Homo-oligomer: A and B are copies of this chain.
Amino acid sequence: METDTKFERKLNAFLPLSEDERKCLAEMQSPPRTVKRGQQLTEEGQTGQHAFVLLVGWACSYKDLPNGSRQIISFPVSGDVVGLRSILLRTADHSFSTLTEATVSLVNAPNVLRCIHEHPRLGAALLWSASRDEAMVVEHLVNIGRRSAVERTAHLFLEFAERLLLIGEATASGFYCPLSQPVLGDALGLTPIHVNRILRRLREQGLMTLHDSWVQIHDYREMKKLSGFQGGYLEI
């Protein structure tokens, strides 16, 4: 499978792309580049940042706080774009780091704008993709604001399951999820210690397990009921 197929396939699922549009999409991106785990690719407050297409691997976008803590905004996975939002802002509004070894290709602002201008339909597809990402951020906000730690955690993993299923990276036996408990804590607004206790509870109740970066959802129905998960915002 070609490296940029997932991104293209995602847009194509929203709106079938012509040969020309596919070509433009490919030209918009710089050649893929491999980066190590834990690499920071953009930094909040910096100017002239690029967007990235994440071709392979896991990453996160986040903000650091003056008091030393951080909040993870989103977990892009293969085929996702990061930083499209910042492309028109004077400065990047978040940082972006890899969580595993990853391959990315770079997209700069002029390229995106030219692309939108030359192929309006492609522009619409990119906007749709950005809208979907924003809907995920909104759901994340709801998750942290109005759900308890267990509900919140269950919700996050159901979202992963759904997203990875859509791109063919999850099977009935589970999915790969290389997130440490401190990282999960930064996403869920919890301490790593409490994340540990929550995971134990979910495990002891036979709902799900996370072991060796492998997630298994054992009782999908109960997880859904517990967390109030409604995946509408992920639909194409």
A-side residues, CB < 8 A to B, are 45, 63, 65-67, 69-71, 73, 85-91, 93-94, 113, 116-117, 120, 123-124, 127-128, 131-132, 134-135, 137-142, 144-147, 188-189, 228, 230, 232-233, 235-236
Contacts and interface: CB of A to CB of B under 8 A. Distances in A.
B138 A65 contact: no
12 contacts: A67-B228, A70-B146, A71-B145, A73-B141, A87-B131, A88-B127, A93-B138, A113-B120, A117-B120, A137-B141, A144-B144, A145-B188
A128 B235 CA distance: 25
A217 B147 CA distance: 31
User: Chain A interface secondary structure, helix, strand, loop or mixed?
Assistant: helix
Of A65, A134, A135, A139, which is in contact with the most chain B CB atoms at under 10 Å from its CB? A134
A134 B83 CA distance: 12
A88 B228 contact: no
A188 B146 CA distance: 9
Contacts of A90: 235-236
A222 B85 CA distance: 31
Contacts of A93: 135, 138-139, 232-233
A145 B146 contact: no
B141 A85 contact: no
Contacts of A146: 65, 69-71, 189
B134 A65 contact: no
B71 A135 contact: no
Given A71-B146, A144-B141, A135 B85 contact: yes
Contacts of A144: 141, 144-145, 189
A85 B45 contact: no
Contacts of A141: 71, 73, 137, 140-141, 144
A189 B147 CA distance: 9
Contacts of A128: 88-89
Given A144-B145, A145-B189, A134 B235 contact: no
Given A85-B134, A135-B89, A146-B69, A45 B140 contact: no
